[in-house]
């Protein structure tokens, strides 16, 4: 495999800013999920704020992980309110919430 000369090499920054580079898409998605997590934490009651995490948003579904079933009560009874809040605060397109219990490691 031929190595590029230093004048031909690309910086990491140029790779990350390249829209065709998959790591850039991953970083963009991770940033979006972090912002969504922050919006979720603003909405959640203090008692469960650290127990519920955004796992993904895909195909109109917001997937949340919780430490316990008790933490999910705040979500299950107010799912429509949560979706409305996130649509307004974050421009979320999801129409349903799926919750899973994933205890901390």
30 inside domain: yes
Give the Cα separation of 9 and 44 in Å (integer).
47
Kindly state whether residue 50 falls inside one of the protein's structural domains.
Answer: yes
pLDDT-derived band at 59 (thresholds 50, 70, 90) equals confident
Residue 64 lies in a domain: yes
> Quick check: is 6 in a domain?
no
Q: What is the pLDDT of residue 103?
A: 83
Return the bridge partners of 66, or none.
52, 101
Query: Which residues 6+ apart lie within 8 Å of 5 measured at CB?
Result: none
DSSP single-letter state for residue 96: E
- Number of separate domains in the chain: 1
Does residue 5 form part of some domain?
no
Sequence-distant (6+) residues with CB within 8 A of 99 are: 63, 64, 65, 66, 72, 75, 76
In a domain, 67, yes or no: yes
pLDDT value, residue 85: 92
* CA-to-CA dists, residue 35 to 11, 66, 73, angstroms: 27, 18, 23
Share of the chain above pLDDT 70, in %: 83
pTM score? 0.74
pLDDT at 16 over 60: yes
Give the range of the structural domain holding residue 73, as residue numbers without chain letter.
Answer: 12-101
CATH code at 52? 3.30.300.180
Q: In what order do the strands lie in the sheet with 61-66?
A: 52-58, 61-66, 96-101
């Amino acid at each position: 495999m031929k190595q590029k000369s230093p004048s031909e090499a690309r910086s990491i920054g140029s790779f990350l800013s390249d829209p065709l580079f998959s790591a850039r898409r991953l970083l963009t998605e991770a940033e979006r999920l972090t912002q969504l997590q922050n919006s979720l934490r603003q909405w959640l009651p203090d008692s469960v704020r650290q127990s519920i995490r955004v796992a993904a948003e895909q195909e109109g579904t917001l997937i949340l992980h919780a430490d316990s079933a008790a933490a999910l009560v705040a979500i299950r009874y107010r799912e429509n309110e949560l979706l409305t809040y996130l649509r307004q605060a974050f421009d979320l397109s999801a129409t349903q919430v799926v919750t899973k219990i994933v205890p901390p490691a």
